[in-house]
Structure formats: structure tokens, C-alpha cells
Amino acid sequence: MCYAIPGKIIEIKGDIAVVDYFGEHRNALNKFLKAKIGEYVYAQGGILIDKLPESEAVEILKIWQDKFFELKKTDRRLAKTTTTDSTVYSHPLLELMQKVNLNKELTKNELLTLLKAKNRDELNLIYTTANNIRQKEHDNACCVHGIIEFSNYCRNNCLYCGIRKEADLNKVERYRMTEEEIFNAAKYAVKELGFKALVFQSGEDEWFSEEKLIKLIKEISKLNILIFISIGLRPKETYKKLYDAGAKAVLLRFETSNKRLFEKLRPNTSFDERIQLIKELKQIGYIVATGFLIGLPDETDDDIINNILLTKELKADMYSFGPFIPSENTLLLHHKVVDKNIVLKAIAISRFVDRDSNILVTTALETLDKDARTQGLLAGANSLMINLTPTKFKKKYMIYKRRYDAQKPIKEEITETINMLYSLGRAPMDINYED
Ligand code: SF4
């Protein structure tokens, strides 16, 4: 099983290759692979990452042929809007959905109205409208990335984080995977499990020096995958060197657009510095995934809408946000957990605000409710991650409590996720390249 379908290059336009997937065409950046017309390729995140022999591609496509069209049918059926009985919806909501369908921009007050919706029928209408737009923009393509959490050491003390530097050492068992363990976990994910894109995540762990990271990225690059890094604040120059070494995507959330809240919850770190770095990462050429936490103490509805708008303003290639789930290792343990529907509404609103965005459903959302990941995909999301950290380390990366995926064997988690995607008619295809 592979979590990317190969496509054939049918046209080259400068650095862009047009890739055909059973008649459907998508643009992908060809700058690094330099593939030619007629070659079969894998793309991830809008970038061509690997070629494969025609014989192998044809075999894989044969397996996908019927399934591909069958999945599309399921997706289209589930993405149909259901506005048959308008009497159950309030007038203002119908007007807002009309505006959304006409591709008109909603004002901040209108976005707040959507965020405040509570009635079950109204929520359904918001979610199905968002899912319908997702279907129109991306068809049934869904990115499936793996994530490997390679160190839970961190120099920071974010008040909400279970692996913060000063977390009780009786509760957090620190670990740092060796370079060999990281590479072997990546190799296993690619060769045995079929992943084409992997996220390498850690706390801000200075033990992994620039030199060590460059060496590691160069080694992993040999696997011909899309390498995402999620390592927190590092100098722009370091990120540039990591990009040159082969990392082409980065996950760096700004956590909250509320500067006062940011600086209260993340002592000794700077909001402006983080935002500046996210902008610089875009300039370097990284695919940037960014976003925020929902449900932080003292957060307002206004903050949530501002978070979505800031993600758009930062030109995120992927929206990554999830619920704040209190951790045993923090003083915020007894803070109330955010309602799942707030997160689903944020997904739908992000889709309305930035129609062709890629929106990730996080495993944190699934921790709130085992069906929430499915619901997130049905509320406008089109991307997800599977945790591939070796089990003995995974349970130690406790950024929040009761992590849904912490105990589950990796293969079981993959099978469940893929079956869930198929039940929704989603195919693990690449997304379009956006300049
Ligand atoms: S949120 Fe990130 S930077 Fe903050 S303590 Fe946790 S791992 Fe470190």
C-alpha cells in the first residue's frame, strides 16, 4: 500500500510539471526532480519527489483504476449540500451560506456569527457547505503524511505543554532518538509502510545542532520523500541550510494571534520573532504549515477568528490547528477542554476564508472524540497525519494527556485510518502546487 498514487507527466511549463492522474491534472514543482514528459512520478505537497519505472507505475495504477472512480463517487455523494428544508435554518445563516457559495468574502462579524452557531441543523449546514467547497477545490485528494517525534527535550517552558523544560521529571521520561534510530524509523515508514512524506518533530532541542540536523536531513533525503521539519525556533540561516540539505516543508505554528496571550503562555519567547520566522520560511521556499491552538485559557471567539485570518495572511500552504488539551504535567491540567464543535467550526470557517487551502486534521482532535477526525474531514479538511514514532518513544511524547494514538500499534493505526478515508471516498493523491 502506498499513500500516494503515481501520475504521468504530460506537460512541462518551466519549473512546473503537469501530472495526469486518471485524466485529472495537477501542477507540481519539478525544480528538484527535473523529470521529463512521459515519466511516472510521485508528488507530495505539490512537489515532485520521486520517479518510478513505467512498468511499476502501470501495475500500481491497475490496482487503483476502479477504486479511484469509486472513491470519487462516494466523496461527491457525501459532499452534497442538504438545504432541502430551509425552515430549520435561521435566515442570517442561509444568507451567509449563500454568500459563501457565491464566493463572496465574509466580514469578521459574519465569521463570528458562524463560530457562535450552536443548533445541530445549523452546524450540519456549515459543515456540509465547507465539505462541498473542499470537494470542488481539491476533489477527493487527501494528503496522508507520517510523523516521527524524535526528541521530547525542549529548552522552552510553554505553560500548556506536557514536555516543557520544567515539567515534573517523575512524569516526563525524556528521550532522544539516535540519528540511526531516526533514519531507521524513516526507512521503515517509506520502504515498509509506503509513506512519501514524513514530518520530523521535536521540542526545541539544541542537542540537535545545525550540523547534526543537516547530516540527518541529507541522509533521509536519499529516501526520496517530502521532508517536513517541525523543530521550533532556529535561526533563518539554519533553516536555509536545512532546506538546501533536502528539507522542503516546515511545520511551525504561531499558536495564538493574541500577542498578550502568546507572551503569557510562552514565557521568554517572542510572538513577533515567531511570525517573522514563518514569513522568512516562506521566502526561503519552504512549504509552510502553520496554525494555532484552540481553547487556550482566556482565549476569546475574536481570537479564534483572528487566528484563522492570520494563518491566511501568512499564506500558509497548510492550516494546522487543533484543540488545546490540558496535560498532567502542567498547571493548566484542570482547564476546561474545548468543545469539539468549536474546532470543527474553525475547520469549516478556514475553508470559507481560504477556499483552496489545505487543512490538516490533527490527532489531538481525535483525542477529544474518536470520530472527530472523520468529522473534521467532513467539515472541510483534506489532510491528515499518522504517528509513526516507534511505540517505545511515542508514549513519552506527551504534549497533552490521553493521546489517542499513543498506545496503538502503527500498522493498526494505518489500517484504521485508510479504511476511514475510503469510507469517505478520499484518495491519497497529491495537491496542486501553489506558487
Ligand atoms: S510547545 Fe513546543 S516549544 Fe513549547 S515547551 Fe512544548 S515542545 Fe517546547
pLDDT tens, 55-65?
999 999 998 88
pLDDT given for residue 83 in this prediction: 55
Q: Ligand 1 centre and the CA of 202: distance in Å?
A: 9
Interval between CA 242 and ligand 1 midpoint (Å): 21
Distance of CA 165 to the CA centre of its chain: 26
For residue 406, the model assigns a pLDDT of 59
> Is any ligand 1 atom within 6 A of the Cβ of residue 203?
yes
Residue 296: CB within 6 Å of ligand 1? Answer: no
**What gap in Å lies between CA 425 and CA 76, rounded to an integer?**
8
Q: Which atom of ligand 1 is nearest to the CA of 152?
A: 7
Section 67-88 average pLDDT: 80
Nearest CA to ligand 1 atom 2: 203
Residue whose cell numbers read 502568546: 262
**Residues near 289 by Cβ (< 8 Å), separated by ≥ 6?**
228, 249, 250, 251, 252, 316, 317, 318, 319, 320, 360
A 10 A CB-CB count for 210 gives 16
Contact 198, 388 (CB under 8 A): yes
The CA 162 to ligand 1 mean position distance, Å, reads: 8
State the distance from the centre of ligand 1 to the C-alpha of 222, rounded, in angstroms: 29
- Whether the per-residue pLDDT at 140 is higher than 50: the answer is yes
CA of 112 to the centre of ligand 1 (A): 29
- Mean pLDDT, rounded, for 141-170: 89
Closest ligand 1 atom, CA of 155? 8
CA-to-CA distance for 222 and 274, rounded, in angstroms? 30
Atom 7, ligand 1: which residue's CA is nearest? 203
**What pairs with residue 40 in β-bridges?**
8, 52
Pocket lining: 156 vs ligand 1, CB cutoff 6 Å: yes
Q: For ligand 1, what atom is nearest to the CA of residue 202?
A: 7
pLDDT score recorded for residue 248: 96
Q: Which domains does the chain have, with CATH numbers?
A: 7-70 (2.30.30.140), 138-423 (3.20.20.70)
Of all atoms in ligand 1, which is nearest to the CA of residue 232? 3
**pLDDT digit string, tens, across residues 256-315:** 999 999 999 999 999 999 999 999 999 999 999 999 999 999 999 999 999 999 999 999
State how far the Cα of 72 lies from the Cα of 87, in Å rounded to an integer.
31
> So what's the pLDDT on residue 99?
94
Give the Cα separation of 19 and 16 in Å (integer): 9
Q: Who wins on pLDDT, 405 or 342?
A: 342
Give the pLDDT band of residue 172 (cuts 50, 70, 90).
Answer: confident
| Ligand 1 center from residue 152 Cα (angstroms) | 9
Name residues whose C-beta falls within 8 Å of residue 129's C-beta, 6 or more positions apart in sequence: 81, 97, 100, 101, 348, 352
In short, whether 388's Cβ falls inside 6 Å of ligand 1 is: no
Taking the centre of ligand 1 as the mean of its atom positions, its distance from the CA of residue 157, in whole angstroms, is 7
Task: Give the three-state DSSP class for 403.
Answer: coil
Alpha carbon distance 362, 372 (integer Å):
10
Nearest CA to ligand 1 atom 6: 161
Q: What residue ranges in 344-413 does DSSP mark as E strands?
A: 358-361, 383-387
Burial class of residue 146 (count of CB atoms within 10 Å of its CB; 0-12, 13-18, 19+):
buried
CA of 232 from ligand 1 middle (Å) equals 8
- Closest residue by Cα to atom 4, ligand 1, is 158
* pLDDT bucket at 125, cuts 50 / 70 / 90: very high
152 conformational bin, left if phi > 0, alpha if psi -120 to 50, beta if neither: alpha
CA-157 nearest atom, ligand 1: 5
Query: Ligand 1 centre and the CA of 85: distance in Å?
Result: 47
CA 381 to chain centre: 9
Residues in the chain, total: 435
Q: Which atom of ligand 1 is nearest to the CA of 161?
A: 6
Q: How far is CA 18 from the centre of its chain?
A: 24
Higher pLDDT, 404 or 386: 386
What is the distance between the alpha carbons of residues 310 and 347, in angstroms, rounded to a whole number? 14
Are 365 and 374 a contacting pair, CB within 8 Å?
A: no
**Ligand 1 geometric centre to CA of 161 (Å):** 6
Pairing of strands 383-387, 143-151: parallel
Residue 204 beta carbon below 6 angstroms from any ligand 1 atom:
yes
Mutation pick for ligand 1 pocket among 151, 152, 159, 163 (CB with most ligand atoms within 8 Å):
163
Helix axes of 340-353 and 120-138: crossing angle, nearest 10 degrees: 40
Q: How far apart are the C-alpha atoms of 6 and 20, rounded to whole Å?
A: 9
Average confidence (pLDDT) over 409-424: 89
Place of cell 494571534: 257
- Other Cβ atoms within 10 Å of 391 Cβ, number: 12
- Cα separation, 381 vs 385, in Å, equals 12
Ligand 1 pocket, residue 163 CB under 6 Å? yes
Q: Locate cell 466523496: which residue?
A: 75
Q: Is 154 in the pocket of ligand 1 (CB under 6 A)?
A: yes
As a dihedral over the C-alpha atoms of residue 89, residue 91, residue 94, residue 96, rounded to 10 degrees, the angle is -130
Instruction: Give 12-33 pLDDT, tens digit per residue.
Output: 999 999 999 989 888 999 999 9
> pTM of whole model > 0.75?
yes
Gap from CA of 65 to ligand 1 centroid (Å): 44
